[in-house]
Every structure is written in C-alpha cells, then in structure tokens.
Amino acid sequence: MTESMLDYTLATIEGYESYWSFTKGNKGYSGVVTYCRVAPLHAQEGFGVSEFDQEGRCVMTDHGSFVLFNVYFPNSGAGDDRMKYKVAFHEAFQAEVEKLLHQGRNVIVTGDVNIAHSELDVWHPAKFMAKQSAGCSTQERNWIDQFLECGFKDAYRELHPNDKVFSWWDQRNVRARICNEGWRIDYFFVSSSFFGQVVESDILTKIVGSDHCPITLVLKEQPPLPPHDLPPNTGRLRAPLPIPTTNSQLSLLKFFPGKTSTATESAQPVHSSCEPQSSSSMSAATPQETSLPISPLTAPPVPPPLPPPLPSLAAATSTQKRPRPSEMSKDKRSNKRLKQTPVNGERSIASFFKSPQSDKQHSNNR
C-alpha cells in the first residue's frame, strides 16, 4: 500500500508507535508495518538495498534485547524473473542478518515468507512439491534450510514438531478455507542464542478476514529499555492532515488493547523521549502516547425496516364452489381461472402480480 491509501484507524492505534514501509511503485502491491507499545531504540525501513527497499517489504526495529525484522518476502509465482528477484532478495537479506549475528545481537524475523518449508506445511505435498509449484520448489525450501543453519530456529515447528496447521489459504479456491486446504508460509525465525526466551508460538486459524491468519510469538519478560529519543527519520508515520475513518478496518483494532480516544482537528506534538518500561511479551509494556489520536468510529447504519408480512394464505382461500367447465363458455374459461383462488389453502401465483385495483375488484367479485 501507499501512504495516501492509509486509513486513520490503521495509522494511529492508541498506545502504539507505528513504523511503516510503503511501496514506491505499484499501489497495493506490498507494504509492511510494525506497531510498538514501547518505541524502539532504532528503526529502519528496508535493509539498505534500493532494488528491494522500493517495494516496501521490510521494517527493522531494535528493541534492545533483540532486533526484529518484519518482512514480506517476494512471491516467485509470476515467472522466472520473479524467482531470480526472490533469490537475490534472500541473499541480500541473509547477509544483513548475519552481520547482526556476528555482532552478538539476538534477531527475530517474522512475516510472510511465501514458502512452505516441509511436507507438514502444505495440505497436499505430493501435488505441489512434485510439481515444483511456486512456494514449494526445492530451491525455495532449501533456502529456509540454509537460513536456519546460519543460526535460527523456526519457533512454531520447534514447539509443535508434528502439527499440520496452516496460515494461508488460496482465495481462488472457494473450498480451501472450509476444507483446510492451506499452507504454512508465515513464520517466526528466532536466533538460536535467544530461543530460550520463547514461551509459545501459535497460529490463530479461527480468526478470519484475510487469506492469511495471525501468528503469535510470546517471550519471557525482557529488560526495560533505558530512556531514549524516538528514532529519527525511520519511516515512522508523522502527523499529516486527518485521514477519514471507515469501518472496514475495525477488526484490526481488536488486536490492540486499550480504548479509543477522541480525534482532534490537528495533530498533537510527539513526545521526545521514552521512559523505561517493562515487557512481558514481544509487543509488551505500558502504552506510550501516540503522535496522532484515533478518529471515532462511525456508528453502523440502521438497517431498513422489514416489509410488511404477506396476508395469511388461509384467509385468501375461497370456499366458493367452482363451476364446471361445461357451465362456462370457452372464451371465458381461461380468464375465469385467473380470477379463481385455488383450493386447499393454496394461492394462485397470478395473484402476486395484480395491481391493487385489480385485487380489490377480484375480492368484490368473490
């Protein structure tokens, strides 16, 4: 998405700082955001390679005890050119991450990796892996092996080694979600040196609203960050003119605890420092003041009144004896049948298409 497409309710969640990476090219093509309850020590859009950063695929935030990469990895399904692009993206990204590991930093990588790593991660492995389908090719799956070998663990698979649970279902297949014909392509990769801090990782398959479902990672209590200034020039959303709200993104607010605030006509000043906070999970700690308030959500429209009920069919039933066909002339026979009401509580379908004047006349004739 582009910044001009941003909805106010998405941009300003009360108690959270938001850090965005927007696509510089095709609208709606890609884009990621990281919401932080405690402002990070540092934040960065992309990882320094313009070829990849222009698609809005990565936000890096430094949380002291770990560095978080929120990444939307490329899809290889658009042909050989995109596969080459994806391979180059993997190499550049892994090189950046390995620099941090060599510096002794703990790293967490999360996002849509667009690869089903093992047979447990796709509903029909024989079909997709045998055909080398995009996202199931040997080349792509081997890259995850290589990435894990450089010092990472797949959090969900480490804690649930035999579970076949999916995080994505193809929307082009109308039965995919119903029949659970999905893939697991969303991950938390945690550096091995930091994996002892992981409490749980889960896939929330019951939450709908997208072709993906949320995944979670819970960490042990982390040391509070020291007082620090907000990261400058990081892609963090600043205060534009108020953006109209819609109800289309209301479901996202359920993931953020806290109550909404009343919107103001102009943006409020941004606080310049963050006090020490304690955290109990990856997105933990006491909410901080946000740079923009949330606009009040509009009330849902009042549904139109229901139409009046149809008259009782029993009341429309006539007890008048039908004349025999021989008693009517041939010319009047078909016309008479339209005016009669069938017996046994039935109602002629023709009566539903008559004008009110015709209905009144028909009632008087009976």
The residues assigned a catalytic role are 112
Show the 3-state SS of 332-366.
HHHHHHHHCCCCCCCCCHHHHHCCHHHHHHHHHHC
What span, in angstroms and rounded, lies between the C-alpha atoms of 61 and 4? 23
Q: Residue 43 forms beta bridges with which residues?
A: 61
Q: Which of 99, 81, 86, 92 is nearest to 50 (CA)?
A: 92
User: What separation in angstroms does the CA of 33 have from each of 61, 201, 359?
Assistant: 11, 20, 63
Residues 225/63, Cβ–Cβ less than 8 Å: yes
Residues 38/281, Cβ–Cβ less than 8 Å: no
Q: Which of 356, 257, 259 is nearest to 311 (CA)?
A: 356
What is the widest separation between alpha-carbon atoms in the chain?
106
Residues 239/22, Cβ–Cβ less than 8 Å: no
The CA angle 37-155-104, to the nearest 5 degrees, is 70
Which residues, 6 or more positions from 326, have their beta carbon under 8 angstroms from its beta carbon? none
What span, in angstroms and rounded, lies between the C-alpha atoms of 42 and 60? 8
Q: Could you tell me the sign of the dihedral formed by the alpha carbons of 229, 230, 233, 234, in that order?
A: positive
Token readout for 93 is: 């990204």
Q: Residue 22 forms beta bridges with which residues?
A: 31
Residues 244/8, Cβ–Cβ less than 8 Å: yes
Q: How many contiguous H segments (helices) and E segments (strands) does the chain have?
A: 9, 14
Which residues, 6 or more positions from 154, have their beta carbon under 8 angstroms from its beta carbon? 117, 144, 148, 187, 188, 189
Residues 346/316, Cβ–Cβ less than 8 Å: no
